[in-house]
Amino acid sequence: MLSFSLVLLAAFGPLSLAFQSPRNPLVHRTAPHMSSAAAAVEGSDESLFQPAARDAKYSSNTAQYLLDLDSGAATFDFCGGMLFQLVLTDRLKSHLQRVASEKDGDDQPVIHPASQPLMNRIPEYRKSSFADNKTIFHGRELRKIPKANGGMGFVLQLSYADEADVEDLGQQSAGKGADGSWSGEAVDPQGWSAQEIATYDGWRGDSFRQWRNAKMYNDEGWDCVAEMNSEEMFGLNHRFYLHYDDRGRMWLSAEDGCEGTPSEGSGGLLGRLGGINYDMQIVQSTDEKSNSLKAQSASSTPLFKVVLSNDKFPPSALPALMMPHSYKMHKGV
């Protein structure tokens, strides 16, 4: 497992972070620009993120809970500080509104127990593009969305999936490594395209998967530029499911294991950097024995710099470190 130290050079003073399990080596080689918006909705209803208050208000009506997270522009804290605003497509909202009105109906979204912290542990799991808007959802992580709440330009979109069954692998197309094919069609105009359905392989690492930019989304039928107000946006489709942890918190978890929980909006270190426009770029150190990864603000003032030993991290490994899966705070340098 990769691990390295990062020292913050801005006004915050020396601060060390340890990064582990990089997951997003993007072709773009740059991290999304942060917006100047506030890091989160101030004074949010605590029932959106406090387990006891949530249970008291919503009980078993998970559909209404998801709808309120969407209408409240709630953010989910992924990887210890990456704030993704939850956005439901119109078709999924319409479906959940019907389910919410029935309260205890059979179509309520399932929040799996803490004993099932990964998607591959839920009952009847198969590697396919299947989703039923109940146990598994279609979704996308979207980046460079200027007006996204949380101040980081990140959106987590959930969409509606066709109600179809998973079949054994046959003549139908399926993503690499699939053990089942899904006969569902693209029925949500804001949701997965036929191409995303046919090639989905979200059980694989992000670096091996097909990221899409605005042009690709548009060509496949989703007018994302008009909807998200960004010509520079890009994203990746995932299957998501819900589960609890031992503290009663609800987690929205992607098939690859990356997950987030409803946030009060602090965003950790990354949240406190909200409002800074930044880019990540790889630079070659003058010292041939090391490579550097640094972030610069819009004024080109270095925010932080990471120096890696060539003995452990060759130059080819640097792109994979640009979107770490998680980080932990450490005192001192």
Supply the pLDDT for residue 181: 79
In a domain, 114, yes or no: yes
Which residue type is seen at 120?
A: N
| 246 vs 110: CA distance, rounded Å | 17
In a domain, 166, yes or no: yes
Residue 41 inside a domain? The answer is no
Name the β-bridge partners of 251. Answer: 243
Same domain, 115 and 62: yes
Per DSSP, the three-state class of 64 is: helix
Neighbours of 204 (CB within 10 A): 15
Quote the tokens at residue 167: 């079949």
**What is the reported pLDDT for 307?**
43
The answer to whether residues 142 and 16 belong to one domain is no
Determine the 3-state secondary structure of 308 from DSSP. Answer: strand
Q: Are residues 13 and 117 in the same domain?
A: no
The tens digit of pLDDT for each residue in 20-61 reads 333 332 222 223 333 333 333 444 689 999 999 999 999 999
In this prediction, residue 64 carries a pLDDT of: 97
In this predicted structure, the answer to whether residue 320 has a pLDDT above a threshold of 60 is: no
Whether the pLDDT of residue 222 is over 70: the answer is yes
Q: Which of 227, 255, 271 is the last residue of a domain?
A: 271
Q: Tell me what percent of the chain is helix, strand and coil, each rounded to the nearest 5.
A: 20, 30, 50
Q: DSSP class of residue 191? A: S
Residue 233 sits in the same domain as residue 156? yes
Domain assignment present for residue 33? The answer is no
**Secondary structure letter of residue 106 according to DSSP:** T
- Pairing relation of β-strands 111-112 and 234-244? parallel
Same domain, 287 and 176: no
Please say whether the beta carbons of 67 and 88 come within 8 A: yes
Report yes or no on 258 lying in a domain.
Answer: yes
Average pLDDT over residues 128-140: 96
- Domain end call among 254, 271, 288: 271
235 forms beta bridges with 142, 212
Domain contains 298? yes
Give the mean pLDDT of 101-117.
93
pLDDT, position 11: 29
Strand partners, 283: 292
| Structural domains in the chain (count) | 2
Kindly report whether the global pTM for this prediction surpasses the value 0.75. no
Where is pLDDT greater, at 116 or 322?
A: 116
Q: 24 lies in a domain?
A: yes
Q: Which of 320, 326, 333 is nearest to 25 (CA)?
A: 320
Please return the burial class of 116, using the count of CB atoms within 10 Å of its CB with bins 0-12, 13-18 and 19+.
Answer: middle
> Contact at 8 Å (CB) between 238 and 140?
yes
Contact partners, residue 109, CB within 8 Å, separation at least 6: 62, 63, 66, 96, 99, 133, 134, 135, 137, 242
Is 138 found in the same domain as 9? no
How many Å apart are CA 327 and CA 5, to the nearest integer?
10
CA angle 229, 212, 117 (to 5 degrees): 100
| DSSP calls for 202-216 | TTS-GGGS--EEHHH
**Whether residue 205 sits in one domain with residue 304:** no
Residue in the structure block whose two tokens are 């009506």? 61
Return all residues near 223 (Cβ < 8 A) that are at least 6 apart: none
Q: Are residues 281 and 267 in the same domain?
A: no
Which of 250, 271, 292 marks a domain boundary?
Answer: 271
Q: Which residues pair with 18 in a beta bridge?
A: 5, 328
Say if residues 158 and 141 touch (Cβ distance below 8 Å): no
The answer on 185 and 157 residing in a single domain is yes
Whether residue 321 is contained in a domain is answered as yes
DSSP run (H or E) holding 251: strand 250-254
Residue 281 and residue 266 share a domain: no
The average pLDDT across 79-101 equals 95
Tens-digit pLDDT profile for residues 250-282 = 999 999 999 999 998 654 454 444 433 333 333
Residues 85 and 228 in one domain: yes
Alpha helices, H only, the chain: 51-58, 62-71, 90-102, 194-199, 214-219, 224-228, 268-272
d(CA 57, CA 37): 29
Residues 142 and 247 in one domain: yes
- Containing structural domain, residue 131: 46-271
